[in-house]
Protein backbone atom coordinates (compact mmCIF):
# COMPACT_ATOMS: atom_id res chain seq x y z
CA UNK A 1 0.00 0.00 0.00
CA UNK A 2 2.79 2.36 0.93
CA UNK A 3 4.66 1.56 -2.23
CA UNK A 4 1.56 2.22 -4.30
CA UNK A 5 1.12 5.64 -2.74
CA UNK A 6 4.72 6.47 -3.39
CA UNK A 7 4.27 5.48 -7.02
CA UNK A 8 1.16 7.68 -7.34
CA UNK A 9 3.02 10.63 -5.97
CA UNK A 10 5.93 10.11 -8.35
CA UNK A 11 3.58 9.94 -11.33
CA UNK A 12 1.64 13.02 -10.37
CA UNK A 13 4.67 15.03 -9.47
CA UNK A 14 5.78 14.62 -13.02
CA UNK A 15 2.48 16.03 -14.23
CA UNK A 16 2.58 18.94 -11.78
CA UNK A 17 6.10 19.84 -12.85
CA UNK A 18 5.13 19.66 -16.51
CA UNK A 19 2.25 22.00 -15.90
CA UNK A 20 4.52 24.46 -14.19
CA UNK A 21 6.82 24.36 -17.19
CA UNK A 22 3.96 25.01 -19.59
CA UNK A 23 3.05 28.31 -17.99
CA UNK A 24 6.18 30.02 -16.89
CA UNK A 25 5.39 32.85 -14.57
CA UNK A 26 6.31 36.26 -15.83
CA UNK A 27 7.61 39.06 -13.72
CA UNK A 28 5.89 42.34 -14.41
CA UNK A 29 6.79 45.81 -13.32
CA UNK A 30 3.77 47.59 -11.95
CA UNK A 31 3.01 51.29 -12.34
CA UNK A 32 3.50 51.57 -8.58
CA UNK A 33 7.13 50.62 -9.03
CA UNK A 34 6.88 47.13 -7.61
CA UNK A 35 7.48 43.94 -9.47
CA UNK A 36 5.05 41.11 -9.23
CA UNK A 37 4.48 37.72 -10.73
CA UNK A 38 1.76 37.70 -13.32
CA UNK A 39 -0.03 34.86 -11.57
CA UNK A 40 -0.04 36.88 -8.37
CA UNK A 41 -1.19 40.12 -9.90
CA UNK A 42 -4.44 40.06 -7.98
CA UNK A 43 -2.47 39.61 -4.76
CA UNK A 44 -0.16 42.47 -5.63
CA UNK A 45 -3.09 44.73 -6.39
CA UNK A 46 -4.24 44.29 -2.83
CA UNK A 47 -0.92 45.27 -1.30
CA UNK A 48 -0.71 48.47 0.71
CA UNK A 49 1.98 49.89 -1.53
CA UNK A 50 -0.05 49.40 -4.68
CA UNK A 51 -3.26 50.72 -3.14
CA UNK A 52 -1.52 53.80 -1.80
CA UNK A 53 0.00 54.48 -5.19
CA UNK A 54 -3.33 54.19 -6.96
CA UNK A 55 -4.97 56.42 -4.36
CA UNK A 56 -2.26 59.03 -4.68
CA UNK A 57 -2.59 58.89 -8.43
CA UNK A 58 -6.32 59.52 -8.23
CA UNK A 59 -5.78 62.39 -5.82
CA UNK A 60 -3.21 64.14 -7.96
CA UNK A 61 -5.09 63.78 -11.22
CA UNK A 62 -6.75 67.15 -11.60
CA UNK A 63 -10.42 66.86 -12.25
CA UNK A 64 -11.79 69.40 -14.70
CA UNK A 65 -13.62 71.87 -12.53
CA UNK A 66 -16.62 73.60 -13.98
CA UNK A 67 -16.20 77.33 -13.94
CA UNK A 68 -17.99 78.93 -11.06
CA UNK A 69 -20.40 81.79 -11.59
CA UNK A 70 -17.92 84.22 -10.11
CA UNK A 71 -15.18 83.07 -12.44
CA UNK A 72 -17.43 83.54 -15.41
CA UNK A 73 -18.25 87.04 -14.26
CA UNK A 74 -14.58 87.80 -13.79
CA UNK A 75 -13.91 86.57 -17.28
CA UNK A 76 -16.52 88.92 -18.65
CA UNK A 77 -15.09 91.82 -16.69
CA UNK A 78 -11.59 90.95 -17.79
CA UNK A 79 -9.87 94.03 -19.03
CA UNK A 80 -7.74 94.34 -22.11
CA UNK A 81 -4.92 96.76 -22.42
CA UNK A 82 -5.10 98.59 -25.69
CA UNK A 83 -2.14 99.74 -27.72
CA UNK A 84 -3.19 103.29 -26.92
CA UNK A 85 -2.58 102.61 -23.24
CA UNK A 86 -6.19 102.46 -22.18
CA UNK A 87 -7.89 99.47 -20.74
CA UNK A 88 -11.27 98.36 -21.89
CA UNK A 89 -13.57 95.45 -21.31
CA UNK A 90 -13.83 93.00 -24.13
CA UNK A 91 -17.45 93.81 -24.83
CA UNK A 92 -16.59 97.53 -24.88
CA UNK A 93 -13.96 97.16 -27.55
CA UNK A 94 -15.95 98.86 -30.29
CA UNK A 95 -16.94 101.63 -27.93
CA UNK A 96 -13.36 102.12 -26.87
CA UNK A 97 -12.12 102.32 -30.42
CA UNK A 98 -14.35 105.33 -30.94
CA UNK A 99 -12.94 107.20 -27.94
CA UNK A 100 -10.87 110.32 -28.50
CA UNK A 101 -7.86 108.83 -26.79
CA UNK A 102 -7.84 105.83 -29.04
CA UNK A 103 -8.51 107.86 -32.16
CA UNK A 104 -5.73 110.23 -31.19
CA UNK A 105 -3.40 107.30 -30.77
CA UNK A 106 -4.31 105.95 -34.19
CA UNK A 107 -3.68 109.33 -35.80
CA UNK A 108 -0.30 109.50 -34.12
CA UNK A 109 0.55 106.06 -35.43
CA UNK A 110 -0.32 107.14 -38.95
CA UNK A 111 1.66 110.35 -38.52
CA UNK A 112 4.68 108.42 -37.33
CA UNK A 113 4.52 106.19 -40.37
CA UNK A 114 4.38 109.11 -42.70
CA UNK A 115 7.46 110.73 -41.22
ZN1 LIG B 1 1.35 47.92 -8.16
ZN1 LIG C 1 -7.27 102.08 -27.63
How close is the Cα of 110 to the center of ligand 2, in Å?
A: 14
Angle 29-33-37 from CA coordinates, rounded to 5°? 35
* Residue 69 within a domain: no
Per-residue pLDDT of the chain (115 residues; tens, 9 = 90+): 566 677 777 776 666 556 555 667 889 999 999 999 999 999 999 999 999 999 998 888 777 778 888 877 777 778 899 999 999 998 899 999 999 999 999 999 888 876 6
Instruction: Find the distance separating the first CA and the last CA of the chain, reported in whole Å.
Output: 118
Q: What separation in angstroms does the CA of 70 have from each of 67, 74, 77?
A: 8, 6, 10
What is the value of pTM for the model shown? 0.35
> Looking at the domain assignment, is residue 55 inside a domain?
yes
pLDDT of 66 = 81
Structural domain includes residue 49: yes
Cα–Cα dist 57/77, whole Å:
36
Q: Residue 96: inside a domain, yes or no?
A: yes
Question: For residue 87, what pLDDT is reported?
Answer: 93
* Residue-level pLDDT at 14: 63
Residue 1 resides in a domain = no
Phi and psi torsions of 89, nearest 5°: -80, 150
Ligand minimally distant from the alpha carbon of residue 82? 2
Count of domains in the chain? 2
Domain of residue 51, residue span = 20-61
Whole-angstrom distance, CA of residue 96 vs CA of residue 103? 9
Q: How far is the CA of 6 from the centre of ligand 2 (A)?
A: 99
Amino acid sequence: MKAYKQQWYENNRGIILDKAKEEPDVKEICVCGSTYWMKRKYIHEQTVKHCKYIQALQNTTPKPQPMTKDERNEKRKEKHICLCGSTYRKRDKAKHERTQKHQHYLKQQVANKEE
